[in-house]
Each structure stands twice: as structure tokens, then as C-alpha cells.
């Protein structure tokens, strides 16, 4: 690969929002490293993106697995570097009152939603710094809403928001920017899991966020550092106070 090629990494890219983000990046000429647990679905996305003429490396695995994270970073290095890292993989966890929540399940929700993104960022920063790159961490309105039944998930995203804003300051000297994006309610498998048996056909498909992603990836990275965005608006500005 030449030094001029642009490379992006998207976790949770086998369907839904992650697939949309990866597609937008491919349309914009990025080579890609995509990851998710479902190998069959991930390879389907890889094949579709490769048809656009991009180099796409698909590595299936759990984001909490340190060896998988290293493989993703190694793949980006083989492609020539890393310009954009999108931490999209998330774990919903059990929806229900905190008084009946199995506290042991914190051991999955926080590692996926909070720990793994930071661990991946730690590995990625040397590559991102070489290209004054951008980190995008996917959050949720549950991080602020204190919605009944959503406590563990919301808490994990609230922690991610604080860590992201902290990182944005700490990485200033590295030339790496970090932002938060709340994609809003969408018709995805994870959202259906939050409302089992309910009809969520009134929610938009993840494609509704595509205009936002096209806008975001055009922005000056220093100008958007530490900002929080909402993706489901018809037009800019998408910025929302953190």
C-alpha cells in the first residue's frame, strides 16, 4: 500500500450501524479492517465492500479478546496505517430493574462497552498519531437518560463518554482527535432485543445516519475534538453539548 491510502477500522461491522459506517467509508475510498463476532455475516459485508474496489480485511472475534484486538491493529498496519477508528461494538445486557439485576453481568457489559474500546485505542494510537487520526466512540442517549431498566447499559455508555472526553484532551499532543456519536433509536437487532416481542418497525433503518457520517468524515478533526454528535437529524449541525 502507498502512504496516501486511507485506512479505517470499524468494530461491530457485520450488520446494522457498523455495516452502514463501513459502507460510507468504503464509498469515500478507505481501505478497511472490519471486525465482529459473527464470521458469516462479517464475510458477507467484506464481499460487498470489496466489490467497490477497496481492500477489506475481515477478522471475526470478540472485542474483549486481546489477541483479536492485536490482529485488527496488525491488519491496519499491513494496509499502511490507520486514519479512523470507529468503536461501534456494544453489549446491551439485560433490560430490567437494578434491584433484580444480576451484578455478575456487569462483567460483560462494561468490558465490551467501556474497557474494550479503550484497550483498542491504546493499541491504535501510534498508527493514528502518524496520520493525525480520528477516534469515533458510539454512545447512546441512555448515557444521560437514566431510563428505568437501562441502568447497566446506560452506565457503561456514560463511562465511555467521560473516558472519551478525557482521551480527547490527553491525545492532543499526539494529534489524535476523539468524538462521541449517539446514533439514536434504529431498527436493529440490538434494539429489537431491548423490546422483545414488540413491533419496532416505526424506527428508521441505520441507513438514516449515512448523511451524518459523510458530513463527519469531512470535518477538520481538530475542530470537532471532544464533541458529542447526534446522527439522526436531517441536516447539520449535528453537534450536541456533552
147 noted as active-site residue: no
The tens digit of pLDDT for each residue in 150-206 reads: 899 999 999 999 999 999 999 999 999 999 999 887 555 665 455 566 655 666 788
Choose the catalytic residue: 153, 212, 229, 238: 153
Grid coordinates belonging to 146: 437514566
Residue owning grid cell 465482529: 36
Flag whether 192 is in a domain. Answer: yes
Task: Give the CATH number for residue 115.
Answer: 3.40.50.720
Q: Parallel, antiparallel, or unpaired: how do β-strands 6-11 and 56-60 relate?
A: unpaired
pTM of the predicted model as reported, rounded to 2 decimal places: 0.90
Q: Could you give phi then psi for residue 176, rounded to 5 degrees?
A: -105, 130
Boundaries of domain holding 152: 6-240
| Total domain count, the chain | 1
Instruction: Go through 190-214 and write b for each residue having 16 or more CB atoms within 10 A of its CB, e for each that does not.
Output: ebeebeeeeeeeebeebebbbbbbe
The tens digit of pLDDT for each residue in 120-159 reads: 999 999 999 999 999 999 999 888 988 888 899 999 999 9
Q: Tell me: pLDDT of 2 over 60.
A: no
Amino acid at each position: 500500500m502507498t502512504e496516501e491510502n486511507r485506512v479505517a477500522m470499524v468494530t461491530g461491522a457485520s450488520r446494522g450501524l457498523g455495516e452502514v459506517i463501513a459502507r460510507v467509508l468504503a464509498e469515500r475510498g478507505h481501505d478497511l479492517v472490519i471486525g465482529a463476532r459473527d464470521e458469516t455475516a462479517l464475510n458477507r459485508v467484506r464481499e460487498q465492500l470489496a466489490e467497490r474496489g477497496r481492500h477489506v480485511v475481515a477478522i471475526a472475534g470478540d472485542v474483549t479478546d486481546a489477541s483479536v484486538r492485536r490482529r485488527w491493529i496488525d491488519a491496519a498496519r499491513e494496509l499502511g496505517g490507520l486514519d479512523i477508528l470507529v468503536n461501534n461494538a456494544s453489549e446491551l445486557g439485560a433490560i430490567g430493574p437494578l434491584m433484580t439485576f444480576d451484578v455478575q453481568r456487569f462483567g460483560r457489559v462494561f468490558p465490551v462497552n467501556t474497557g474494550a474500546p479503550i484497550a483498542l485505542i491504546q493499541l491504535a494510537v501510534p498508527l493514528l498519531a502518524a496520520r493525525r487520526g480520528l477516534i469515533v466512540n458510539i454512545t447512546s442517549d441512555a448515557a444521560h437518560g437514566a431510563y428505568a431498566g437501562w441502568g447497566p447499559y446506560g452506565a457503561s455508555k456514560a463511562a465511555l463518554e467521560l473516558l472519551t472526553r478525557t482521551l480527547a484532551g490527553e491525545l492532543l499532543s499526539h494529534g489524535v482527535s476523539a468524538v462521541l456519536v449517539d446514533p439514536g433509536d434504529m431498527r436493529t437487532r440490538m434494539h429489537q432485543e431491548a423490546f422483545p416481542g414488540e413491533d419496532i418497525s416505526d424506527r428508521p433503518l441505520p441507513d438514516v445516519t449515512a448523511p451524518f457520517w459523510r458530513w463527519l468524515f469531512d470535518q477538520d478533526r481538530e475542530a470537532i475534538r471532544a464533541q458529542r454528535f447526534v446522527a439522526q437529524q436531517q441536516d447539520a449541525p449535528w453537534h450536541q453539548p456533552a
